[in-house]
Amino acid sequence: MRHEPPVMSNCPVPFAATDCIRLGHGSGGKLSHQLLRDLVYPHFDNPWLAQAHDSTRLPPVGGPLLFTTDSFVVRPLFFPGGDIGKLAVYGTVNDLAMGGARPLFLSCSLILEEGLPLPTLSRILASMRQAADETGVQLVTGDTKVVERGKGDGLYINTSGIGVLEHSVDICPQRIQGGDLILLSGDIGRHGMAVMATREGLEFDNPLDSDCAPLHNPVKALLDANIPVHCLRDLTRGGLATALVELAETAGLSLSVREEDIAVSGGVQGACELLGLDPLFVANEGRFIALVPGDHGQRALGILRQQPVSADSRIIGRVLEERKCRVIYTTRLGTERLLDRLAGEQLPRIC
């Protein structure tokens, strides 16, 4: 099973494999300076970061701003299909995209654990850079802190992001209306199961890859085509079910979805069956739902299917007129039940 990607040949500063984070790297003294100069800045050379000031002065942008923040504490740092660096960029980019914004700038705070190998940090920063380039964002300010060994899982990352609205569509749960169709951008449960399989050392014949991916392109495509999108939501913690429940409650309406239209890959389904987990509640990092007016559903579906990251989009259900704030789930057997949030973590079955 792949735990770490191969060492990057284009790593800007080669470090000895034995070099690692020391408490002094967080002191604000020479070691801190060296860390930034030799390891962090080379990955992110841009005029904003080069200001090297306590705060960064950004250029005016032509529209309302969206601002968001997220912290990333995934363990292990590398997992099939991604790593914490990629996740930290895509996660915040996706939160901006779900508001309909074009992502522009990111901040990045690194909380480093004493003993983290510098080559590992360098690989993660390289991965962040690659993800930033891919999504068209600039990493313009940041911070590093070091915690004692045993007080962190190697590395925690916080990113905040600013994006600009370049259209007049108001995308939020309050705009959801009875009759809206619910589009799902692909199969569910990959990220959560890939991370769990790696963390617990579970091996499967068909390795599970995280779906970790940026979602700004399909959103842009919908908006460029003048689809009057009512709401977008990425399906991270708590998975599809939790996202649907949250939207139903905020919108004050009931939703209805069909099991047979919700795709789950054979690998994810097999792993979930084995462990007694429900893919509806498993985290994703590259999937979202779009709620659009009924008469725009088919055109929106066609647009999403043209984008590689949402090529397997499907219409999975619709918004009802009733105001009971429920999510009604129709099983493959034709029976109906309600979806609700989980009380705690999903736990594997005992026997």
Partner 1 sequence: MKYLDEYRQRSSIERLAADIAAITTRPWTLMEVCGGQTHSIVKYGLEQFLPPAIELVHGPGCPVCVTSLAIIDRAIALASRPEVIFCSFGDMLRVPGTERDLLAVKASGADVRALYSPLDALKLATENPHREVVFFAIGFETTAPANAMAVFQAREKGVNNFSLLVSHFLVPPAIEAVCQSPETRVQGFLAAGHVCAIMGYRQYVPLAAKYRVPIVITGFEPLDILEGVLLCVRQLEQGRYQVDNQYIRVVDRDGNRLAQKMLDEVFAVTAQTWRGVGNIDHSGFRLKPAFAPFDAELKFGLREHFPAGSTSPVDSNGCISGQIMQGLKKPRDCDHFGKRCRPESPLGAPMVSSEGACAAYYRYRAEEV
Q: Which residues bind partner 1 (CB under 8 A)?
A: 200, 266, 269-270, 273, 275-276, 326, 328, 331-338, 340, 342-345, 347-351
Q: Which of 136, 280, 265, 143 has the alpha carbon at shortest distance from 209?
A: 265
Residue 190 and residue 204: Cα distance in Å, rounded?
Answer: 13
| DSSP letter assigned to residue 54 | S
CB of 237 to partner 1, least distance (A): 16
Nearest residue (CB) to partner 1, 225 versus 347: 347
Positions of E strands within 19-151: 65-72, 78-79, 82-83, 102-113, 138-147
CB of 238 within 8 A of CB of 279?
Answer: no
Q: Which residue number, 87 or 245, has a Cβ lying nearer to partner 1?
A: 245
Dist CA 253 CA 319 (whole Å): 7
If you count them, how many residues does the chain have? 351
Handedness of CA 39, 43, 47, 49 (dihedral sign): negative
Quick one: 186 or 297, whose CB is closer to partner 1? Answer: 186
CB of 335 to partner 1, least distance (A): 3
Nearest distance from C-beta of residue 324 to partner 1, angstroms: 9
Nearer to partner 1, 130 or 330 (CB): 330
- Closer by beta carbon to partner 1, 37 or else 323: 323
Residue closer to partner 1 (CB basis): 58 or 275: 275
Minimum distance, C-beta of residue 289 to partner 1, in the bound complex (Å): 21
Half-sphere exposure of 334 (CA within 13 A, CB side): 0
- Least Å distance between CB 333 and partner 1? 5
Tokens of 234: 């990425």
In the complex, minimum distance from the CB of residue 260 to partner 1, in angstroms, rounded to a whole number: 9
Question: What angle do the packed helices 118-135 and 84-98 form, to 10 degrees?
Answer: 30
DSSP annotation string for 198-229? HHHT---SS---------HHHHHHHHHTT---
Pick 298 or 331: Cβ nearer partner 1: 331
Identify the residue whose tokens are 């090297």: 52
